[in-house]
């Protein structure tokens, strides 16, 4: 069977941690990804539950607050401010 390459961009720290995990369990990174692909094809679904992030930004109450604020801005009831860029690193 012919082989091909998949390229994906991920966070550098996640890659290092994933490579380390794979090494610890005796798999190459390529073999681990191949196992994932085979499971998806066999089960015809992502082989684990995907849930919403625990990030509070995405909470229902925060999203409702944001939508209310957007409505108020569109109705001329608020003040728009310039975005202040902050370097997190």
- Three-class SS of 3-37: CCCCCCCCCHHHHHHHHHHHHHCCCCHHHHHHHHH
Percent of the chain at pLDDT exceeding 70:
97
Q: Is residue 30 part of a domain?
A: yes
Alpha-carbon gap, residue 33 to 2, rounded angstroms: 17
Answer whether 47's CB lies under 8 Å from 40's CB: yes
Q: Identify which of 50, 6, 45, 46 has the alpha carbon closest to the alpha carbon of residue 29.
A: 6
Instruction: Determine, yes or no, domain membership for 77.
Output: no
Its domain, for residue 39, covers 12-43
Q: Residue 20: inside a domain, yes or no?
A: yes
pTM (2 decimals)?
0.55
In a domain? residue 38: yes
Domain presence at residue 28: yes
For residue 52, the Cα-to-chain-centroid distance in whole angstroms is 10
pLDDT at 52: 67
Give residue-wise pLDDT tens across range 11-40.
Answer: 999 999 999 999 999 999 999 999 999 999
């Amino acid at each position: 069977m012919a082989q091909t390459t998949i390229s994906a961009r991920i966070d550098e720290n996640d890659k290092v941690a994933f490579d380390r995990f794979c090494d610890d369990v005796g798999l190459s990174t390529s073999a681990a990804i191949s196992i994932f692909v085979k499971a998806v094809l066999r089960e015809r679904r992502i082989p684990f539950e995907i849930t919403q992030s625990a990030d509070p930004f995405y909470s229902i109450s925060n999203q409702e607050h944001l939508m209310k604020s957007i409505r108020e801005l569109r109705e001329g009831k608020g003040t728009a401010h310039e975005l202040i860029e902050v370097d997190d690193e």
